[in-house]
A and B are shown apart, each in its own frame.
Chain A
Amino acid sequence: MIRRAARRTGLFCLALFLVACAWEFYKVIGPEDGGSVFGIRMIPKASNRAMPHTWDILQRLGEPENRAGGDPIWVAVAGYAWYTFRLSLVGLVLGIGVGTGLAVLMTRFRFAERGLLPWIIMSQTVPLIALAPQVVSWSGRIDIFGWEWPRWASVCVLAAFLAFFPVAVGTLRGLKSAPAASLELMDSYAASWTRTLFKLRFPAAVPHIVPSLKLAATLSVVGVIVAEISTGIRGGIGRAVLSYQQASTGDPTKVYAAVLGAAALGLLLFGLVVLIDVLLMRNRPQENPA
Chain B
Amino acid sequence: MTAVVIKDVSKVFNVGKPNYVDALVDIDLTIEPGEFVSLIGPSGCGKSTLLRLIANLIEPTVGSVLVNGKPAAQARLDQDYGMAFQHAGLFDWRSVEKNVELPLELKGWDKARRRARAQEMLELVKLPEFARHMPWQLSGGMQQRVAIARALASHPPLLLMDEPFGALDEMTREHMQSELLQICASTETTVVFVTHSIPEAAYLSDRVVVMSPRPGQITEIIDVDLGSGRNEDTREADAFYDSITAIREALRGIGHAEIRGGMDDR
Contacts and interface: CB of A to CB of B under 8 A. Distances in A.
Interface stretch (A2-10, A84-92, A105-113, A184-192): A184-192
Given A179-B89, A285-B134, A285-B136, A188 B106 contact: no
Interface of B: 55, 57, 76-77, 79, 81, 83, 85, 87, 89, 91-95, 102-103, 105-106, 134, 136
A82 to B, nearest CB: 35
A200 B106 CA distance: 12
Given A181-B85, A283-B134, A285-B136, A188 B91 contact: no
Given A184-B57, A187-B57, A284 B79 contact: no
B106 A284 contact: no
Contacts, number: 47
Contacts of A284: 92-93
Contacts of B91: 182, 200, 203-204
Contacts of A50: none
A181 B91 CA distance: 11
Interface string A155-196: 000000000000000000000000101101101111100010
A190 B85 contact: no
Contact of A185 (B83, B92, B105): B83
Contacts of A135: none
B55 A188 contact: yes
B146 to A, nearest CB: 13
Contacts of B102: 189, 199
A185 B136 contact: no
Given A181-B85, A283-B134, A189 B92 contact: no
B57 A188 contact: yes
Interface string A269-290: 0000000000000011100000
Given A199-B102, A284-B93, A188 B83 contact: yes
A61 to B, nearest CB: 45
A195 B102 CA distance: 11
Interface string A17-36: 00000000000000000000
Contact of B93 (A181, A190, A203): A203
A204 B92 CA distance: 8
Nearest to A192: B106
Contacts of B81: 188
A204 B106 CA distance: 18
8 contacts: A179-B89, A188-B57, A190-B76, A195-B106, A200-B91, A283-B95, A284-B93, A285-B136
Given A187-B57, A191-B106, A199-B106, A182 B93 contact: no
Contact of B85 (A185, A199, A203): A185
**Contact residues of B: prevailing secondary structure:** loop
A206 interface: yes
Nearest to B76: A190
Nearest to A188: B83
Most buried by B among A182, A189, A199, A204: A189
A181 B57 contact: no
Contacts of B85: 181, 184-185
A285 B95 CA distance: 12
B134 A188 contact: no
Contacts of B79: 189-190
Closest 5 CB pairs of A and B: A285-B136, A203-B93, A181-B89, A188-B83, A190-B77
Contacts of A285: 92, 134, 136
A165 B144 CA distance: 39
A284 B134 CA distance: 8
Given A184-B83, A185-B83, A189-B103, 11 more contacts: A179-B89, A182-B89, A188-B55, A188-B83, A190-B77, A190-B106, A195-B106, A199-B102, A203-B91, A285-B92, A285-B136
B217 to A, nearest CB: 25
Contacts of B103: 189
B87 A181 contact: yes
A284 B137 CA distance: 10
A285 B81 CA distance: 30
Contacts of B95: 283
A215 B138 CA distance: 34
Interface string A187-225: 111110001000110011010000000000000000000
Contacts of B94: 203
A190 B81 CA distance: 11
Nearest to B74: A190
Contacts of A181: 85, 87, 89
Nearest to B134: A283
A191 B134 CA distance: 23
A285 B94 CA distance: 11
A184 B147 CA distance: 14
Contacts of A187: 57
Nearest to B88: A181
Contact of A188 (B76, B93, B136): B76
